[in-house]
Structure 1
Amino acid sequence: MASSTRPIDARGWIFEVRDLEAATETWLPIAGLTTFTVNPGENEETADTTSFESEGAYEEDVMQRGASLTLEGQYRVDKVTGAQDPGQAYVDNVWANQVGIDSHNPVRWRHKSQTSWVVWDATMTPGEQGGGTNEKTTWSATIRRNGWPTTAPVVTTP
């Protein structure tokens, strides 16, 4: 009998950044993405616990957990107004200019088939933008989790 489980499409993932400048809670979808990578081992630190009793086998304890999310795609603009996609624009023009405690910003993501968001308090490094003669302009950002992840239910508005 065939398995009822199936792989999910990568294009079904949704990534949003919270606009901390908005008067009410506002999440901005990040458009134009063509690839993403979640690295659950980023910024992990370990302590070597190998001793004579280890009998030549390596031993360690994980002392710190971290994670990162890399988003890559195409720089997007509204063809009528010329304005950059609001999610990309927030990352590039607001979040990228913050330092210290202000460099933290919430992000969330989920697959369209899921009923809850993964939510991170995060910092971000803007990625390179560029392109060649017959290419579209690229856009990217690397987001790093601070603290532990949380979840939030998907709320649909009628």
Structure 2
Amino acid sequence: MGRPIDARGWEFEVETATPDTFVRLGKLTSWTHNPGENEETADTTTFDSEGFYEQDVMQRGATIEVSGLYAALSGTPDAGQDYIDKTWAFRFGEESRGTLRYRHVSQDEWTVWECTVTPGEQGGETNAKTSWGATFTRCGAPTTAAVVTTP
């Protein structure tokens, strides 16, 4: 039997305006993958169903929500957070789609989504750090890509 994997071992990266250039989303403290988000079904129950419900899935969707701390290292914002906050979040129509890839450090493949992003709330209380977050909504089917390591 396999061992459980650590939640902190997941990596999330977004593609910038420069094709094939990805930046890491840093300072994350939690994430949630919802593979049933935006699912749509059609009721197929008939008299022949003999009182039992039946359905067909007509649409599948998914979201990933990430949360963390708003980060600035030596006055420089986290590259992934900054790209989402200042660039991706202000795109509309076809331009609103971008690319997210994610994987656990134990995996040798990225899961790649074409998706939209919704910026999360930011805030904090007196003795807290400022929060940061985003929700990615998958558009179409996911793909995969090999992890390329540079020597």
TM-score, with structure 2 as normaliser: 0.98
Where does residue 54 of structure 1 map in the other structure? 49
Q: Which stretches of structure 1, 4 residues or longer, exceed 3 Å deviation after superposition?
A: none
Determine helix, strand or coil for the equivalent of 1:66.
Answer: coil
Instruction: Quote the offset at 1:43 in angstroms.
Output: 0.3
5+ long unaligned stretches in structure 2:
none
CA deviations over 1:72-111 (Å, ceiling 9, x no partner): 00000012xx121000000111000001000000000000
Residue 8 of structure 1 pairs with residue 16 of structure 2: no
How many residues are aligned here? Answer: 151
Percent sequence identity over matched residues? 57
Among 24, 36, 39, the alignment partner of 1:41 is 36
Instruction: Quote the offset at 1:25 in angstroms.
Output: 2.1
Among 62, 66, 73, the alignment partner of 2:68 is 73
Among 90, 95, 98, the alignment partner of 1:102 is 95
Determine helix, strand or coil for the equivalent of 1:41.
Answer: coil
TM-score, with structure 1 as normaliser: 0.94
Among 19, 23, 39, the alignment partner of 1:28 is 23
* 2:146 alignment partner AA: P
CA deviations over 1:43-76 (Å, ceiling 9, x no partner): 0000000011111111000000000000000000
RMSD: 0.8
Residue 119 of structure 1 pairs with residue 112 of structure 2: yes
Instruction: Quote the offset at 1:123 in angstroms.
Output: 0.4
